[in-house]
């Protein structure tokens, strides 16, 4: 049974972990001074404008939400934020879904982008055929998960090639 | 020294390598074997699905046109799809075909019986079948029609998965076609060559952790009745025209278990086996293109349906936005990607590997066919990664629609008002990463496995693998970028 824990699999694991680590380090020192960002997001069937928001961790985001054609929702994953907006209104309604409760009418909602990564905002009010696919992306840099996983996949390829490389074919018994 | 080195570096002999671990399920669970041997088994598992299917069609034709409030959309494209791709495909092979209601009426017309068997004589079998019993043209005996059919349907996927009526029409046409074809052609010609679902089921069933096989091929060799493929008074001739004595891949066995009933030598069993290890040979360009089409469709759906770009959704959403130019670009782009661009990239990687390995004794065609297996586990896992957010984000519709299947304001189970609530959506990327990495891992392993059957020289094997392996890494990173980047 000893050959099952062959050293080449140990090496594979090490290379994968190193790859992941390198990927993580690639974004680890991403330091951007936090800033305030005022962003207006316009919802229309079946997308948001802008479709992708790029911000830095620590930024304070001031969101103003507008609906262009019909009533739309805005459910931002990872940040416990849900809103709905009507086309004729300058204001919109927000709540924190984890606490349930009622929506509150506001003209701006702000939060600190404290969690890095990619988060989707989705329409939460059925607005037409393609409603289930209506979504936009908030990308909070540094995106550790992405860089780490790219590193992991490169490590996986390298490690597998190491396992498969001719000199290690069956020599180690 | 040199000789010892030589022996040790020689690849493992094929006989040893070709016998991966397998576990005889029927031997350990005799009641399961008894169950599938019951004549009524398949009818009993199809029946509930037939009932649901009927309900879905009614909902599609008469229920609300709003997809996420109609049971046909929510149950088929969220629930069924997820269970099919993430559970049945990797762990059950073509288990879906065991319970699929689509060919039910066709089988009934051919057999004039839902449970019993009729012995007699029909072309190629020892059962009495009804209908014209024609043979399907040889030219079309491949999965090209399924490839084009699936790609065609995929062009309208934005409509198919959001419009109850479109879904109902497509499924209605399929069930009629299956019945009609059963009257003209023998066995399950529809399943073998037409059903658009069948193509990817056959492809991804290769990876599955179960297989139905003859226990001992020697017994088959000596078997005079060949009841598995010819039928007997105990079971219908294999509807898929599969001969158990030669079966070595899951692709075209629809798991109907007729052969388990008919084999007089009790020589067929269900086995567990490791994931993506045993069936690693693609056997034709049709299958290679299927692998490319499926991988590229996962890619395209991830961009169009799950991406943030509204203009692309508008292009795909032709019946509402009427942008024919945009729709044309989308349709052409998707087809080009699946039929030309990606296969060309893959071909290039094969040529490059062949050149680098100085592999003059192996033909490009053989390398192209064999190495394409790497796209199979990668494709399946990319589809699973694509499907995770669908169920996690929109799974709550299953609860609400169960109470109000037609969107008419009913409240059968008291859950009609269940709110749309994504389930841990922020953790979805953390599930997608290991799934995609697993795709890369199994793809690379498959590559090495088929490679070692082609090359004796480990250096050649190693070199020939590198370009396709890098391509596979590129595919993985592309999906990572879309899902979490
Ligand atoms: S091939 Fe298609 S129609 Fe036939 S049983 Fe499978 S899914 Fe159903
Ligand atoms: S009937 Fe049984 S023993 Fe005969 S060929 Fe088929 S599987 Fe083998
Ligand atoms: S080999 Fe044929 S008869 Fe046996 S389970 Fe598969 S499809 Fe059915
Ligand atoms: Cu909306």
Q: Is B421 on the interface with A (CB under 8 A)?
A: yes
Residue where one domain finishes, among candidates B272, B307, B336: B272
Same domain, A150 and A136: no
Same domain, A19 and A97: no
Nearest by CB to residue B313, choosing from A46, A164, A166, is A46
The answer to whether residue A172 is domain-embedded is no
Same domain, B172 and B319: no
User: In the prediction, which pLDDT does B6 show?
Assistant: 40
Same domain, B343 and B199: no
pLDDT tens-digit map of A92-132: 999 998 887 789 999 999 999 999 999 999 999 999 999 99
CA of A76 to the centre of ligand 2 (A): 58
User: In the prediction, which pLDDT does A4 show?
Assistant: 54
Q: Which of B309, B417, B429, B455 to mutate to test the interface with A (most CBs of A within 10 A)?
A: B429
Interchain proximity B469–A157, CB inside 8 Å:
yes
- Judge whether residue A172 has pLDDT over 80: no
The answer to whether residue A170 is domain-embedded is no
Which residue range is the domain that position A119 belongs to? 36-141
> What residues line ligand 2, using a CB cutoff of 6 Å?
B 214, 219-220, 223, 225-228, 244-245, 263, 265, 267-268
User: In the prediction, which pLDDT does A3 show?
Assistant: 55
Same domain, B54 and B178: yes
Q: Is B33 on the interface with A (CB under 8 A)?
A: no
Instruction: Look up the ipTM and state it.
Output: 0.92
CA angle B206, A169, A10 (to 5 degrees): 85
Q: Average pLDDT in the A31-45 region?
A: 92
Same domain, B258 and B300: no
φ/ψ of B113, rounded to 5, equals -170, 140
CA B206 vs CA B104, B212, B290, B471: distances in Å: 25, 12, 13, 21
User: In the prediction, which pLDDT does B411 show?
Assistant: 87
The answer to whether residue A173 is domain-embedded is no
Q: If we measure between CA atoms, which residue out of B6, B173, B160 comes closest to residue B70?
A: B160
CA B158 vs CA B4, B59, B70, B74, B309: distances in Å: 61, 19, 16, 14, 14
User: In the prediction, which pLDDT does A166 show?
Assistant: 86
Number of domains, chain A: 2
Closest residue of A to B485, CA-based?
A146
**How far is B277 from chain A, CA to nearest CA, in Å?**
16
Same domain, A137 and A62: yes
Q: What sign has the CA pseudo-torsion B153, B155, B157, B163?
A: negative
The answer to whether residue A59 is domain-embedded is yes
Compute the mean pLDDT over every residue in chain A, rounded to the nearest whole number.
89
Same domain, B24 and B56: yes
The answer to whether residue B278 is domain-embedded is no
Same domain, A9 and A91: no
- 3 state DSSP class of A122: strand
Cβ-based contacts of A44 with chain B (< 8 Å): 310
- Spell out the per-residue pLDDT of chain B, length 485, in tens: 333 444 444 444 444 455 678 999 999 999 999 999 999 999 999 999 999 999 999 999 999 999 899 999 999 999 999 999 999 999 999 999 999 999 999 999 999 999 999 999 998 999 999 999 999 999 999 999 999 999 999 999 999 999 999 999 999 999 999 999 999 999 999 999 999 999 999 999 999 999 999 999 999 999 999 999 999 999 999 999 999 999 999 999 999 999 999 999 999 999 999 999 999 999 999 999 999 999 999 999 999 999 999 999 999 998 888 889 999 999 999 999 999 999 999 999 999 999 999 988 899 999 999 999 999 999 999 999 999 999 999 999 999 999 999 989 888 998 888 888 889 998 999 999 999 999 999 999 999 999 999 999 999 999 999 999 999 999 999 999 999 99
β-pairing, A92-95 vs A135-141, is unpaired
Supply B263's token pair.
């084999």
The answer to whether residue A7 is domain-embedded is yes
Number of domains, chain B: 2
Cβ-based contacts of B477 with chain A (< 8 Å): 150, 153
This prediction has a pTM of: 0.93
Burial class for B239, CB neighbours closer than 10 Å (0-12, 13-18, 19+): buried
Which H/E stretch holds residue A72? strand A72-76
Q: If we measure between CA atoms, which residue out of B484, B298, B386, B353 comes closest to residue A153?
A: B484
Same domain, B166 and B56: yes
Cβ-based contacts of B387 with chain A (< 8 Å): none
- 3 state DSSP class of B113: coil
Ligand nearest to the backbone CA of A47: 4
User: In the prediction, which pLDDT does A89 show?
Assistant: 85
Instruction: List B316's β-bridge partners, or say none.
Output: none
Same domain, A62 and A114: yes
Same domain, B292 and B262: no
User: In the prediction, which pLDDT does B19 show?
Assistant: 67
Q: How many CB atoms lie within 10 A of CB A108?
A: 13
Which residue range is the domain that position B182 belongs to? 2-272
- Judge whether residue A170 has pLDDT over 60: no
Same domain, A14 and A79: no
- 3 state DSSP class of B361: coil
Same domain, B224 and B258: yes
Instruction: Write the CB contacts of A112 (distance below 8 Å, at least 6 apart in sequence).
Output: A58, A59, A60, A61
Measured distance CA(B301)–CA(B328) in Å, rounded: 16
**Choice between B52 and A29, residue whose per-residue pLDDT is larger:** B52
Same domain, B302 and B259: no
> What residues line ligand 1, using a CB cutoff of 6 Å?
B 96-97, 100, 102-103, 178, 191, 195, 197-198, 201, 254
User: In the prediction, which pLDDT does B20 show?
Assistant: 76
- Judge whether residue A169 has pLDDT over 70: no
Interchain proximity B67–A173, CB inside 8 Å:
no
Closest atom of ligand 1 relative to the B103 alpha carbon: 3
């Amino acid at each position: 049974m000893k050959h099952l824990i062959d050293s080449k699999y140990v090496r594979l694991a090490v290379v994968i972990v190193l790859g992941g680590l390198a990927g993580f380090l690639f974004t680890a020192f991403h330091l951007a001074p936090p800033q305030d960002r005022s962003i207006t997001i316009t919802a229309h069937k079946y997308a948001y404008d802008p479709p992708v928001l790029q911000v830095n961790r620590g930024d304070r985001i001031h969101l103003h939400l507008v609906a262009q054609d019909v009533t739309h929702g805005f459910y931002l994953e990872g940040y416990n934020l849900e809103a709905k907006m009507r086309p004729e209104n300058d204001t919109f309604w927000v709540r924190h879904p984890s606490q349930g409760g009622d929506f509150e009418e506001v003209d701006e909602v702000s939060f600190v982008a404290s969690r890095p990564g990619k988060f989707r905002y989705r329409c939460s009010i059925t607005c037409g055929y393609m409603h289930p696919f209506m979504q936009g992306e908030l990308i909070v840099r540094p995106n550790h998960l992405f860089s780490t996983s790219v590193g992991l996949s490169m490590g996986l390829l390298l490690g597998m090639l190491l396992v498969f490389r001719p000199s290690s074919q069956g020599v180690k018994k | 020294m040199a000789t010892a080195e030589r022996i040790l570096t020689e690849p493992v002999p094929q006989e040893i390598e070709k016998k991966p671990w397998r576990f005889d399920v029927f031997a350990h669970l005799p009641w399961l074997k008894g169950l599938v041997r019951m004549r009524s088994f398949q009818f009993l598992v199809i029946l509930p699905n037939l009932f649901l299917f009927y309900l879905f069609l009614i909902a599609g034709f008469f229920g609300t046109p709003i997809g996420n409030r109609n049971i046909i959309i929510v149950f088929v494209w969220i629930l069924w799809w997820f269970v099919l791709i993430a559970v049945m495909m990797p762990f059950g092979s073509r288990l879906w075909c065991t319970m699929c209601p689509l060919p039910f009426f066709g089988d009934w017309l051919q057999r004039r019986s839902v449970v019993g068997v009729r012995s007699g004589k029909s072309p190629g079998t020892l059962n009495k079948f009804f209908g014209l019993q024609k043979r399907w043209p040889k030219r079309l005996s491949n999965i090209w029609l399924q490839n084009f059919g699936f790609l065609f349907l995929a062009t309208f996927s934005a409509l198919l998965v959001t419009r109850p009526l479109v879904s109902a029409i497509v499924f209605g046409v399929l069930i009629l076609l299956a019945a009609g074809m059963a009257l003209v052609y023998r066995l399950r010609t529809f399943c073998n060559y037409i059903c658009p679902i069948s193509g990817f089921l056959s492809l991804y069933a290769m990876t599955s952790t179960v297989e139905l096989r003859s226990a001992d091929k020697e017994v088959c060799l000596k078997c005079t009745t060949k009841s598995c493929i010819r039928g007997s008074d105990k079971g219908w001739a294999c509807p898929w025209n599969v001969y158990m004595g030669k079966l070595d891949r899951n692709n075209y066995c629809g798991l109907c278990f007729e052969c388990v009933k008919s084999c007089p030598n009790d020589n067929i069993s269900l086995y567990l086996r490791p994931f993506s290890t045993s069936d690693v040979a693609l056997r034709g360009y049709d299958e290679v293109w299927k692998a490319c089409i499926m991988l590229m469709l996962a890619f395209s759906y991830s961009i169009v349906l799950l991406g943030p770009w509204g203009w692309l959704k508008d292009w795909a959403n032709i019946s509402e936005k009427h942008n024919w130019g945009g729709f044309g670009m989308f349709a052409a782009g998707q087809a080009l990607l699946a039929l030309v661009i990606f296969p060309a990239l893959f071909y290039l990687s094969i040529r490059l590997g062949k050149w680098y390995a100085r592999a003059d004794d192996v033909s490009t065609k053989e390398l192209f066919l064999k190495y394409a297996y790497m796209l199979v586990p990668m494709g399946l896992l990319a589809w699973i990664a694509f499907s995770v957010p669908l169920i996690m984000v929109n799974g709550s519709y299953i609860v609400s629609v169960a109470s109000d299947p037609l969107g008419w304001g009913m409240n059968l189970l008291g859950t009609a008002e269940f709110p749309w609530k994504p389930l841990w959506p922020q953790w979805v990327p953390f599930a997608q990463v290991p799934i995609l990495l697993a795709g890369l891992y199994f793809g690379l392993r498959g590559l090495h496995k088929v490679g070692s059957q082609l090359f004796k020289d480990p250096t050649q094997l190693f070199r020939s693998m590198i370009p396709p392996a890098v391509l596979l890494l590129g595919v993985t990173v592309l999906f990572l970028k879309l899902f979490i980047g």
